[in-house]
Chains A and B, each alone.
Chain A
Amino acid sequence: MRWLLLEMKSKNIGLFAFFIYTVLVLVPLWLAVDRLIWIVGYDVIDWIQSLERNYVSMGTFQFTLLQASISTIVTLAIGIPIAWQLGRYKWPHDYLIRSILTMPFVMPSIVAAMGFLHLIGENGLNIRSNQGTWFATLIVAHAWFNLSLVIRFCEPVLSTLDPQMEEQMLLLPAGKTRLGRFRYLWLPLLMPSIAAAACMTFVFSFTSFALVRWITLGENTLESMMASIGSSAGINGYMISRNEIILGSSLIQFTILLLSLWVMSTLQHKRQSRLPKASESIVKKKNNSGWLIVFPALVFAILPLITLVISSFRIRESSASGTTYSWSTAGWEYAFTSTNSLPSAWDALFNSVGYALVALVIALPLGWMLAQYICDLEKLKPRLARILDVFTMLPFAVSSVMIGLGVMLGMIRIDAEFFYSLWLTPALAHVMITTPFVVRIILPALRSIDPLYDECARTLGISKFKRFFKIKVPMLRGSILIATIFTLAMSMGEFGASWVVTRNSDWTTLPIMIDSLRSIPYNNSLTAPAANAVASVLMLIALILFISTEKFRPRRDGGMF
């Protein structure tokens, strides 16, 4: 009888978690979409056609698709040789090299945008004034971001392959040439990993916002265009076409992201089955000529960040006679002083840390409960478990700007006075974004726990409470820590949703403050260095969080987190 009660309890917790998840994550989105539809009517074809009917959105989809495809190809072209070098040869300070190359992935996009902006600016390569370079810069910036995905996905396959396989291959006629070995051994092995990395790169580039907003002026992705027109959407009888455009573009985004996620999850399955078991006895050679690839890659990975820090200390002084730069901390002082028109970076830091903690306190337990429920159900009702699994992944297919609109048009509209007086409101968007990630990180860890441990403990008469804290928590420790740090990092760097939500409120966050500082017009020479100063702070936080995850990550797990 007690058994049954306990089972019931865990089921109730599961249902409770799904209820909270539905209310917090899906209802705002639903309300927002409902509102938009209520204003323009239900005509899907018309929504999509409205993109080409309006000057703001004309050509946006084509541009988004084009840049995302090229970004993916370029990222792979740069990433695969690097992964090859890292995986096939022996490197001194191997761990450090790997960390540096995978670090860009955790950098907030606005930090990368500021870094690249200064890299191509007058004080750097000085190619900014030539518009022909903008598209290429965007592609390179996307490659910078996603390089780590290619490395992280492909490198384990390369580094853990049993050398016997290659030796056998050498004896076969098809393996006589390098090309042959690549064609018949490596490519089939690598293909699923390459495709998975390509898929993720495509998704990230497709929904790129901060980089597009700052680098390619006048060109928009669906994401950045939705953000810029979002503030006038959802108002009955006013700028109706804006609502159509948002519905149309979010529908396109949703479809493409969903498709990519589906491809991704299929590939993930294939990848795991094709990954040959690691052999500990692999002896790797050094490859000095490989430095020709690895060294530039290292420079490439750190350069935008170093530029960023340096330029936060460079103050521009210009007059009709010319422009000079001098060293000064004035930009930092400007950023950290509060004025009537600008909050200080301390306020932004306080809000950012606060929202990250709130997101953590809600998303981590919620994600964990969801994961636990799915995991429990998998044994009893695999079909239902699968449905719930997909259900928790849905927000992945919704871009962050759309989540921001969800909060603004969905929640805030209900009672603006209440939600604006509530410091917590922007954190809702962060919860919506981070919860699915927590589920993704914890679920595989839960699956890998052998139920025997729990059964043994039960037979030993250990209480449920004790079993949880003494057995489950220690076994999940690594994943929980990664989920914790990941939630914090995602929330601290969150740009799209906060851009939509917090700009109409009193509470700015670090990424938004960087953006507003950089947007201040008129020739105040301190705003750009101040933006870089705040970006440097955010970069430092991201770095600390990144180093902490690296410590807990099982080495070469080949996963994304």
Chain B
Amino acid sequence: MKNRIVLLSIFMSAMMVAGCISEAIEDSVNDDNSSPEEYVWEDDGELVIVTYDVYGLTDEMLSEFENQTGYDINLMKLDDAGSVLSHLMQHKGVQIADLAIGLDNTYLQTAIDNQLLWEHFANISNIKSEVLEPYNGRLAAPFDHGYMCLNYDTEMVDGENLTVPTSLWDLTNEEWNGKVAIPSPETSSPGRAFMTATVDYFANDEDNQTDWTDWWTAMSANDAIITTGWSEAYETHYTGGYGEYTEGYVGDAHMVVSYCHSPGVESWYNGNWTKSAALDLPRAAFHQVEYASAIEGGNLDAASAFIEYLLTEEVNTKMPTENFMYSVLNDTDLPEDGGYRYHSTVPTMAANVSANDIALNMESWLEDWNDAMVAA
């Protein structure tokens, strides 16, 4: 009997202590909101970068930085931009990384609102003004950009098997059933960018009866393939890209959300040939800017040094070929060789959604998106 009481009390007290711990932990973390004047950090000679598959962070490029500065880089690779933000949110106040690379303009504001970032002091200049439009401050430094577009396989979308859509509504027709791959806006930054574009697209179309969520419901009903990240959509499902040369290729989608310059990358790789093309519908493209940000509580010296390095002419002008994105520096463009620039589309009219609108509405858009998808 006594035993039982002892055990029970151990268990009960464990439970009761637990009850207040969540609260206590959260409180201790929230007390820690230091304002910019109070930045305190220690330069331990190490730079921990939290990122996802950002191709531009090649081994050579990272080693070069290590050699130049003496910092030791430690790369923490997560699944996607969403995971990077979650990681920062998860460790608010007790961050373990110094620099986040790969948050884009659809994610950045959440990170800023939650005081997850610190102002870097890297010396940067010569940045294209269009890139600074969504955000122009020191909490995040843009390092690459590009436009999100629908891409299609011209061998399948040839007017016979499938016709080139002239409106997003065309994709809800039976002929496109199960043939459009879209990364989920809940987890992927290209997905989020595309969803944001649809908000603007359907707000400005001639039809006043329906709005953007109706389109997503129709897409969901038309068995659109929603993937967790861009690479699953493009590599595994899309027939027009390099995916067919990779392991695990399925090839059931002839239309995919990717970059407007993805066909250019394909062409550059294949010696001036590609069967993929970007679909240039007005307001269906989204200008995406990707950022490198110093993380609160991290090694600000190292983070700033890396940001500066990332924006040197030497590194940043390689973005098109190393990272398959536009450089953010003035007077740069995609290279012409291999048909890179020729096959890349600059959208005639990108979606016009202000950074402020994104910051204000992203949460509710995501909820609406979820409801729209479930409603199908």
A contact residues vs B (CB 8 Å cutoff): 11, 15, 18-19, 22-23, 26-27, 30-31, 34-35, 38, 52-56, 58, 117, 121-122, 128-129, 131, 217-218, 228, 231-232, 234-236, 238-239, 241, 316, 318-320, 323, 339-341, 377, 381, 384, 387-388, 408, 413-417, 420, 503-506, 516, 519-523, 525, 528
Contacts and interface: CB of A to CB of B under 8 A. Distances in A.
A384 B23 CA distance: 34
A504 B90 contact: yes
B14 A235 contact: no
A23 B15 CA distance: 11
30 contacts: A15-B6, A22-B14, A30-B15, A31-B21, A31-B22, A34-B19, A34-B22, A55-B220, A58-B374, A122-B249, A129-B249, A129-B251, A131-B250, A228-B187, A231-B86, A232-B83, A232-B86, A323-B245, A340-B63, A408-B90, A414-B21, A416-B96, A417-B94, A504-B78, A506-B76, A516-B77, A519-B79, A521-B235, A525-B246, A528-B247
Given A22-B14, A232-B82, A523 B245 contact: yes
Contacts of A377: 3
B73 A26 contact: no
Q: How large is the interface on B (under 10, 10 to 19, 20 to 34, 35 or more residues)?
A: 35 or more
Contacts of A340: 57, 59, 62-63, 73, 75
Q: Name the 8 nearest CB pairs between A and B, nearest first.
A: A521-B231, A318-B245, A416-B94, A232-B86, A55-B373, A528-B247, A340-B62, A38-B22
B18 A30 contact: yes
Contacts of A408: 90
> Which of A217, A239, A316, A341 neighbours the largest number of chain B CB atoms within 10 Å of its CB?
A341
Contacts of B235: 521-523
Contacts, number: 153
Interface centre among B6, B18, B25, B230 (most CB of A within 10 A): B18
A59 to B, nearest CB: 10
Contacts of A323: 245
Given A128-B250, A384-B4, A504-B76, A27 B245 contact: no
Interface in B3-18: 3-4, 6-7, 10-11, 14-15, 18
Contact of A34 (B18, B74, B242): B18
Interface of B: 3-4, 6-7, 10-11, 14-15, 18-19, 21-23, 25-26, 53, 55, 57, 59, 62-63, 73-79, 82-83, 86-87, 89-92, 94-96, 110, 114, 184, 186-187, 220, 225-232, 235-236, 242, 245-252, 270, 273, 369-370, 373-374
A258 B62 CA distance: 50
Nearest to A117: B248
Contact of A416 (B78, B91, B247): B91
A234 B86 CA distance: 10
B26 A523 contact: no
A523 B22 contact: no
A235 B186 contact: no
A54 B368 CA distance: 11
Contact of B53 (A15, A38, A521): A521
Given A27-B18, A128-B250, A231-B86, A413 B374 contact: no
A388 B6 CA distance: 13
B83 A231 contact: yes
Contacts of A26: 11, 14
Contacts of A34: 18-19, 21-22
A235 B86 contact: yes
Given A54-B374, A55-B370, A520-B53, A420 B96 contact: yes
A66 to B, nearest CB: 19
A532 to B, nearest CB: 10
B23 A38 contact: yes
A55 B232 CA distance: 18
A323 B235 CA distance: 16
Nearest to A36: B22
B374 A22 contact: no
A241 B368 CA distance: 13
Nearest to A421: B96
A131 B63 contact: no
Contacts of A52: 374
Nearest to B324: A522
Nearest to A532: B247
Given A503-B78, A523-B245, A19 B228 contact: no
Nearest to B13: A22
Contacts of A232: 82-83, 86, 89-90
Contacts of A318: 245
Given A231-B83, A320-B270, A320-B273, A30 B14 contact: yes
A22 B248 CA distance: 43
A265 B10 CA distance: 27
B73 to A, nearest CB: 6
Contacts of B14: 22-23, 26-27, 30
B90 A55 contact: no
Contacts of B96: 416-417, 420
Given A11-B3, A55-B186, 19 more contacts: A18-B10, A22-B11, A22-B14, A26-B14, A34-B19, A55-B184, A122-B249, A129-B251, A231-B86, A235-B89, A236-B26, A340-B57, A340-B73, A415-B94, A416-B94, A504-B78, A521-B229, A522-B53, A528-B248
B225 A218 contact: yes
Contacts of B220: 55
B368 to A, nearest CB: 11
Contacts of A504: 76, 78, 87, 90
Given A231-B86, A341-B75, A416-B91, A54 B370 contact: yes
